[in-house]
Amino acid sequence: MKKILLFLSVCFSINFSVAQSLSPQIISTSGTSFIGSSAQLDWTLGEPVTAALTNSNNILTQGFQQPNLLTTAIDDVPADYSVTIFPNPAIDFVNLQIQNALNESLLIDLYTIEGKLLKSQQINSSTHLQIDMTAYSSGTYLLSIKNSSAKIKSFRIIKSN
């Protein structure tokens, strides 16, 4: 019986010694962290607190934590423009057809998914453009179409072999 109790207490203590450690990340409008000789204080402005647990020595608050953030905004095409892109996924070329009722010049930018600019080209109003993708590796690319005042449309292009 003593062996069983000893075994269970060893297992119980090992369980606590290899407990999971967390590194929380917070998205908020403002905040900072102060570290003193015996305590650490973290504060944020705009983070909702959902729970608070206290004991004689510690306070634990649980709030909104977001380890990874991916934000993608794709705007709608204004009524003055008609944009078609094909084929997608692409192998060698991507065809871009733009009908521009305002007859203004447009800027076409091709980016990697990390945001590196690969190609930038100025085009005239209503046009058909073929973008050569053979030099690029398989993956996801972003194509942005802009006029002189704002972004018109963004496309996610998938390049495959």
Instruction: For residue 80, give the DSSP letter.
Output: T
What's the confidence (pLDDT) of residue 24?
A: 55
- Do 95 and 145 lie in a common domain? yes
pTM (2 d.p.): 0.50
List the domain range (segments joined by +) for residue 140.
Answer: 81-159
What the block records as the tokens of 49 is 């607190």
- Do 149 and 91 lie in a common domain? yes
What's the confidence (pLDDT) of residue 109?
A: 92
Mean pLDDT by groups of 10 residues along the chain of 161 residues: 76 58 57 78 64 73 54 58 84 85 80 90 79 90 84 85 79
- Do 33 and 87 lie in a common domain? no
Whole-number Å distance between alpha carbons of 129 and 155: 15
In a domain, 91, yes or no: yes
Domain count, the chain: 2
- Residue 135 sits in a domain whose CATH number is 2.60.40.3080
